Chains A and B, each alone.
Chain A
Amino acid sequence: MVLNFPHDDPYSALSAAVIRQAAHDMQKSIKHWNHDDEKIRDAARATYAECRRFLLSVDSPYHSMLKLDNDVYTRIVEQVEHSAGLHN
């Protein structure tokens, strides 16, 4: 998933990278959602929950730096979950 956020200063670029990393980690964690190894499965689900919580926590400093609409983050989460078939 390609996520391009507009940024005009280094700190916004860093914030965009933190958000992108969270979305990337969330996408990766879904792949191990039903892993045979319980430890890997639990770790993946914990990562998923953490990343999702972070992406939707609109009052984090990184979200504030990017000054984007909350809807953007909701769509990212939806897109990741839909592409992984979590909603089916």
Chain B
Amino acid sequence: MTDISYRLTITPPLSREEEQTCLCRAQYYNDENALERLVTSNYAYMVGRTKQIFATSNSEHSDALLSSAVFGMLIAINKFDLQLIPDVRLRSYATHWIDRYIRFGIIELTWSRYPRLPSNVRRLFETYKTLRKRHEHTTGRVAHHREILVDTDLQKYEDVFHLYVDPIALSLDTPTAHDDDDDGYLHERIAGDIPDVDGMLRSIDSESALSTIKQKLADMPAQMREILEQSYGITCPEKTLTEIARNNNMSRERARQLRERGLRSLKRNGIELSTR
């Protein structure tokens, strides 16, 4: 899995079908090419997340945190269950894991309490921090976490530390090109102009989103649609619940219930639509 890290490059985002095919191939057949496509197509997003969570000009930190983000993405690819959540895109699912590993990366780099972590994990790291300091003081050198944890109560959590404290190393000098002619390196990719893939996707989506919502409203029962339209001022000026109730000869509470039901109905349609 880690072998792909040395040839990271940016590729266009995958369509839903391509993504699902790649996921199947990566999970069931250990296809490295599929895995690489999944990682590289989300590379710009991972760089964005890294910058957003830990905005810094320190390239050393960016390098290490980006490797944490890639590691989070690899974990997400492994864990993503297509059968359980078929209508969620990999990027949505992986955001949690990418953020999580970036935050653990921050802890490792700065020992800061800045990232928000579950209290039990935070306590674990606080104890580890104390042990590490004690070890450094005794031996006068920085040690691997396995060495620090040996013969301690935390040894049973070694897997956790293996995952969180030792993310795969990805140097800034990592070559990112496939061809021998193109001698690109990771630091150039980070510093250079990264295409705003998210922005492109969003602009395409927002064009079709409006017509989709209009269509879904048109398909709703008439009374529910009218209440929603009046509540949010879609085909007429915006009205209060009391006004809507008076116009439709119903109680205010009934109007509120119908509005809620309408919103839930739209939400369910949203989930169905996102599977297409």
Q: Write the residues of chain A forming the contact surface with B, with a CB cutoff of 8 angstroms.
A: 10-11, 13-15, 17-18, 21-22, 25, 50-51, 53-54, 56-62, 64-65, 67, 69-71, 74, 78, 87-88
CB-CB nearest in chain A for B264: A21
Q: Which of B85, B95, B208, B263 contacts A53 (CB 8 A)?
A: B85
| Chain B interface residue bracket vs A | 35 or more
Known contacts A14-B234, A62-B270; 16 additional CB pairs below 8 A are: A11-B214, A18-B270, A21-B260, A53-B87, A56-B88, A56-B95, A57-B92, A59-B92, A59-B274, A61-B213, A61-B270, A64-B208, A65-B209, A70-B91, A70-B92, A74-B96
- Determine how close the nearest CB of chain B comes to the CB of A14; give it in whole angstroms: 5
Chain B nearest CB, measured from A19 CB (Å): 8
CA of A59 to CA of B212 in the docked complex: distance in angstroms? Answer: 12
Q: Which residues of B contact A (CB under 8 A)?
A: 49, 52, 85, 87-89, 91-93, 95-96, 99, 116, 118-120, 198, 202, 205-206, 208-210, 212-214, 216, 228, 231-234, 238, 260, 263-264, 266-268, 270-271, 273-274
Chain A binding surface SS class:
helix
Contact partners of B274 in chain A: CB under 8 A: 57, 59-60
Interface of B is mostly: helix
The answer to whether B233 touches A17 (Cβ under 8 A) is no
B253 to chain A, nearest CB (A): 17
Q: Which residues of B contact A87 (CB under 8 A)?
A: 118
Whole-angstrom CA separation of A69 from B120 in the bound complex? 29
Instruction: For A14, list chain B residues within 8 Å (CB).
Output: 213, 228, 232, 234, 266
Is A57 in contact with B89, judged by CB distance below 8 angstroms? yes
Q: Quick check: B267 and A59 within 8 Å, CB to CB?
A: no
Query: How far, in angstroms, from A14 to B89 measured CA to CA in the complex?
Result: 24
